[in-house]
Structures are given as C-alpha cells and as structure tokens.
Amino acid sequence: MVRSTQLKRETPRVEDYLEAIYHQIHDKGYASTIDLSDKLRVKPPTVSIMLRKLAKDGYLVHEPYRGMRLTEKGGKVARSVITRHSVVYEFLSMIGVEPEKAYQDAEGIEHDVQPVTVHRIERLVEFLRKNPQVIERLSDEPRK
C-alpha cells in the first residue's frame, strides 16, 4: 500500500486529473481527452490546457492525438490520492455511512486530510478489520 506521507501534496485539481488518468489507463489501457472531459465534467479544451501543465510539471508524457502516460512522479501522486480515498471510504463505510455518501465524502476529504491523519485512520481501519465485534457493538448502541 502506498503511504500518502511520502509525497508533497498537490492541488486538488491536479490530484483529480492524475487520479482520473490513472483509473482510465488501468481500466481501458489508455486515457483520452474526451474521456477525461466527461469524467471531470469540463470541456475538452480545459483538459488539453491541464494536460500541457501536467506534462510541463513532469506528471505525464502527452503526445496530442497519440495518447498519454503517467510518469513515475504522476503515478505516485495518483496512487496516493487513491489510497487516501480508499482508506477514508472504508472507514466511513465501517461506521455505517451509506456507500454513496461515503464515496462523496471521501472524494472531498481525500484532498484535505493530512498524511498523519490518513495513517491513523488506516491503522484504525486495520484494527476494526481484525476486530469486527467492535463495529457490531458500535452499531448496536442506540443513536441519540
């Protein structure tokens, strides 16, 4: 598992793009401007501008009309975002947040949570996985 504490944090927008590119390449074998435009709900020219910035900053190699790939630096950032999201989502799910709300909340939290906090949540999630009776006891308690 990639530790988010190893990396300098990028802007939420940069992280969103790198995460989307990573998922597209993983799921489809490639990432396209049109697919990114649809996923991120922005116009294709906006995607093109960001791709040039990401390439200039060393996050990806982009050849217009030919494709793109993440550099090692871009891949590390993308995996870090995905890890943060996954840890927060799993924690929220464990404490009874509905899946759709847990996903939406994790999307927002993944960009603002500090690495040390993610690490602590990750440790708690590991503990709860090994001790499911704790979650059961929490869910049995009456809500106020």
Segment-wise mean pLDDT, segments of 10 residues, the chain, 144 residues: 51 95 95 94 95 96 87 96 95 93 93 91 95 82 52
Task: State pTM to two decimals.
Answer: 0.81
Do 11-70 and 77-140 show the same overall fold? no
Segments making up each domain of the chain, as ranges: 11-70, 77-140
Q: What is the pLDDT of residue 106?
A: 95
Task: Tell me the backbone φ, ψ of residue 68, rounded to 5 degrees.
Answer: -150, 160
Q: What is the pLDDT of residue 4?
A: 41
Q: What is the pLDDT of residue 142?
A: 55
Q: What is the pLDDT of residue 90?
A: 96
Q: What is the pLDDT of residue 1?
A: 46
Q: Please name every residue paired with 37 in a beta bridge, in sequence order, or none if there are none.
A: none
- Tell me the one-letter amino acid at 141: E
> Can you tell me the distance from the alpha carbon of 14 to that of 25, in angstroms, rounded to the nearest whole number?
17
Q: What is the CATH class of 77-140? A: mainly alpha
Fold of the CATH domain 11-70:
Arc Repressor Mutant, subunit A (1.10.10)
> Can you tell me the distance from the alpha carbon of 111 to that of 67, in angstroms, rounded to the nearest whole number?
27
- What are the Cα distances from residue 87, in Å, to 59, 123, 136, 139? 24, 10, 20, 20
Cβ(85)–Cβ(121) under 8 Å? no
